[in-house]
Structures are given as structure tokens and as C-alpha cells.
Amino acid sequence: MINNYKLVELSKQYPNDIVLYNQDVKSLMKLPGRIPGEFDNQLLEFLKITNGALILDYRFYGFKNILFSPSLDQNLKDKWYEWQHIAGTIIPFVGSSSNFGFGYLEKVPFEGSHPIVFFSEFPEDTKLIASGFDVFFDTFINYVELSLIEGNNIEITIDNWPFNTDKLIQKDASLHKLITSNAVTEVIESIKKG
């Protein structure tokens, strides 16, 4: 379950570093039909809390939010066109000015969600980092809080996140199962080959 209490509290403490947008649940319910495959339910629950968010240098894409563009569906089209290696496999939901992002593996449902990956313009950078959106966001928001306390309001650098697999597995018991899964490994390897 998403720790929306911590998210809202941090946005009040650090209003310049965490910007949340009002949700439009009626409009939001149209989004799953605009994204290929089964839309991730945990991501949808997050979007019901905030229809897009700027958290440090990370942009969580919303839907039909005139204050915050591109929307998730438009970003999907743009990224699939720009970065062919993620087309048809990764649904990007977070972007960064450092030219990387996070998304879920569209064709790999897992325990009510989808595995979350880090990706960039370079196919070989693709890395499995969480078993689902809730785990990803819980880890993410905790690192955001620690970064802000340290005075870092740009990117998370604590524990070499999201590249330290040992730390990720400590926070996500199901991640090891996914890392060793042939089906997930095949998808990740096909992305890395471009």
C-alpha cells in the first residue's frame, strides 16, 4: 500500500521539492484504456492520490492534467518512439532530466502488480529494481526523505539507489524471486539487446 501520508507530509515540509497535483478520478478512469495491456493497479491507486507529481528531479506522469505535461499516455508514445528498446515492453511512469526513467514490465504481471525497471536511452542500462509499484514507491519516498534531510534536492544518491541489488532485495523480499525468474530474465535481456 502506498504511503500517501508520508508523501503528503513531505510535500508540506518541502513544497518546492515535492509538488503534487489534484486528481481527477473521473478522467483518470479513462487512462487504462489508453495504455496497452493490463494497466498496473498499484500505479492507478497512486494516480488517484496525485495526478502527476514532481518529486526532486523525478516526474511522475499523470493523465489529462493541463498543469503538468506530457501525460502518461503521451509520454509512452514519445518514449516508445525515441527509445525503441523499451517499445512494447515497458510502460514508463517516471522521467528525469538526467535522461532515465522508471516503468513497469507490461507483459509480466506479478502478485497484483508488475515488476518495476530502471531504464535509459542505453538498452544495457535496463535493470529490474522492484517487484511492484507499492514496493518501489515506498523505497523511493523513504530515500527522498533522507535526501531532503541531507540537503540534496536533486536526485537520490543514498545507497547507490537504484543500482545496489543487495539493498533492493533487503527492502523487497519478492525481488530475488523475480531476478531469478527465467521469464523476467528473458524480457530484461531482450530489452538490453535493443
Instruction: Look up the pTM and report it.
Output: 0.93
- CA 125-172-140 angle, 5° bins: 65
Q: Which amino acid is at 10?
A: L
Residue 34 has pLDDT above 90, yes or no: no
Nearest to 91 by CA among 99, 82, 100, 77: 77
Give per-residue pLDDT as tens, 134-152.
999 999 999 999 999 999 9
Name the architecture of domain 4-193. 3-Layer(aba) Sandwich (3.40)
Q: How far apart are CA 114 and CA 77, in angstroms?
A: 20
- Residue 24's pLDDT is 67
Residue 82 has pLDDT above 80, yes or no: yes
150 three-state secondary structure:
coil
122 Cβ contact partners less than 8 Å away, ≥ 6 residues apart: none
Nearest to 102 by CA among 75, 81, 65: 75
Q: Are 92 and 79 in contact, with CB atoms under 8 Å apart?
A: yes
